[in-house]
């Protein structure tokens, strides 16, 4: 079994790990399996694992505007030859709603010959830290993660019993994802973003953002941080900046 994921701020990494640990636990009772979990940031490693996988691929990503993060879409498309005949279970994480979060990659993967085994949507704390409306207290976030863990364990149990969830994969979900968000916001995920803002007055040029960015979008110059306009909107640098000096959708972190 191979887990392949993208996670900007850790939610999706947490969820795929929890799911695969639970699944391995149920599966070892019948037949033990070799397991690996790889981020698409290690692109060659992930592609190599896909090439050799013959049992199950668990694919996981966060939802952006009811759509795939551009970095994940690019990974799937760049390795289109590797999906043929793969059994794929899809997990997607979100703050509130996606409609067909699993469906957006399922339709693409089916085009490349994959067999979609099932899918699960998981509500996690919202990673958008520069919009006040989306922020919850630490207690509320803990509650959300606990519920997510329970849902993932139940989903793993169902899959181990050959009755996988198929959340987000039917036609009605497709319509809710499309009309709920994608129709109005699809332009936001079509290209990499050039909207990231560095607030130079508070930046101390520590370089943290340059080292964590999965897109290598940021560089440190003498005067400030320079962005290359290829941001996948993952919010990692925004959440990790010690000075709260970076924003994307909102104005203040």
Ligand X SMILES: Cc1cc2nc3c(=O)[nH]c(=O)nc-3n(C[C@H](O)[C@H](O)[C@H](O)COP(=O)(O)O)c2cc1C
Contact set with ligand X (CB under 6 A): 7-12, 62-66, 93-98, 124, 126-128, 181, 233-235
Out of 204, 226, 229, 251, the only residue in the binding site for ligand SF4 (CB under 6 A) is: 204
DSSP 97-164: --SSHHHHHHHHHHHTT-EEEEEEEEE-----TT-GGG---HHHHHHHHHHHHHHHHHHHHHHHTT--
Distance CA 169, CA 156 (A): 17
When the beta carbons of 73 and 151 are compared against ligand SF4, the nearer one is 73
Distance of CA 199 to the CA centre of its chain: 27
| Burial per residue of 66-91, b for 16 or more beta-carbon CB atoms within 10 angstroms, e otherwise | bbbbbbbbebbeebeebbeebbbbbb
- Here's the x/- map for ligand SF4, 149-188, by CB under 6 A: it reads as ----------------------------------------
217: DSSP letter: -
Cβ–Cβ under 8 Å, residues 127 and 133: no
Question: Are the beta carbons of 160 and 131 closer than 8 angstroms?
Answer: no
- Indicate left, alpha or beta for 170 from its phi (over 0: left) and psi (-120 to 50: alpha): beta
Instruction: Rule CB under 6 A: say whether 245 interacts with ligand SF4.
Output: yes
Q: Which does 93 bind (CB under 5 to 8 A by kind): ligand X, ligand SF4, none?
A: ligand X
Residue 234 binding ligand SF4, by CB under 6 A: yes
Regarding beta strands 36-39 and 246-247, do their DSSP bridges make them parallel or antiparallel, or are they unpaired?
unpaired
Q: CB atoms < 10 A from the CB of 136, how many? A: 13
Does 237 interact with ligand SF4 (rule: CB under 6 A)? Answer: yes
Say whether residue 232 binds ligand SF4 (CB under 6 A).
yes
Residue 68 binding ligand SF4, by CB under 6 A? no
Query: Among residues 8 and 168, whose Cβ is nearest to ligand X?
Result: 8
Cβ at position 8, least distance to ligand X in Å: 3
Decide whether 19 or 235 has the Cβ nearer to ligand SF4.
235
- Shortest distance (Å) from residue 125 CB to ligand X: 6
Contact of residue 218 among ligand X, ligand SF4, none (CB under 5-8 Å per partner type): ligand SF4
* C-beta of 96 vs 223, nearer to ligand SF4: 223
In the range 7-36, which residues lie near ligand SF4 by CB under 6 A? 8
> 72 near 79, Cβ under 8 Å?
no
User: How many Cβ atoms are within 10 Å of 55's Cβ, its own excluded?
Assistant: 13
CB of 208 to ligand SF4, least distance (A): 4
Comparison of 49 and 128: residue with beta carbon closer to ligand SF4: 128
**List of residues contacting ligand SF4 (CB under 6 A):** 8, 196, 198, 203-209, 212-215, 217-218, 225, 231-238, 241-243, 245-246
């Amino acid at each position: 079994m191979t887990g392949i994921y993208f996670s900007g701020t850790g939610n999706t990494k947490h969820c795929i790990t929890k799911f695969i640990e639970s699944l391995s636990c149920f599966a070892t009772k019948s037949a033990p399996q070799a397991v690996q979990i790889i981020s698409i940031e290690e692109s060659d490693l992930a592609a190599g694992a896909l090439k050799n996988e013959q049992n199950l691929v668990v694919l996981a990503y966060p939802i952006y505007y009811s759509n795939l993060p551009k970095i994940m879409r690019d990974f799937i498309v760049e390795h289109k030859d590797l999906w043929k005949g793969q059994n794929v279970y899809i997990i997607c994480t979100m703050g509130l709603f996606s409609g067909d979060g699993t469906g957006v990659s399922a339709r693409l993967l089916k085009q490349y010959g994959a067999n979609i085994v099932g899918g699960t949507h998981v509500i996690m704390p919202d990673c958008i830290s520069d919009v006040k409306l989306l922020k919850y207290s630490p207690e509320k976030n803990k509650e959300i993660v606990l519920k997510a863990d329970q849902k993932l364990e139940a989903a793993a149990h169902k899959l181990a019993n050959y009755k996988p969830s198929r959340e987000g994969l039917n036609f009605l979900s497709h319509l809710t994802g499309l009309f709920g968000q994608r129709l109005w916001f699809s332009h936001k995920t079509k290209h990499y973003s050039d909207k990231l803002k560095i607030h130079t007055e508070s930046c101390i040029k520590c370089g943290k953002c340059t080292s964590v960015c999965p897109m290598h979008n940021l560089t440190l110059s003498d005067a400030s941080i320079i962005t290359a306009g290829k941001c996948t909107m993952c919010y990692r640098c925004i959440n990790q900046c010690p000075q709260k000096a970076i924003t994307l959708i909102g104005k203040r972190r």
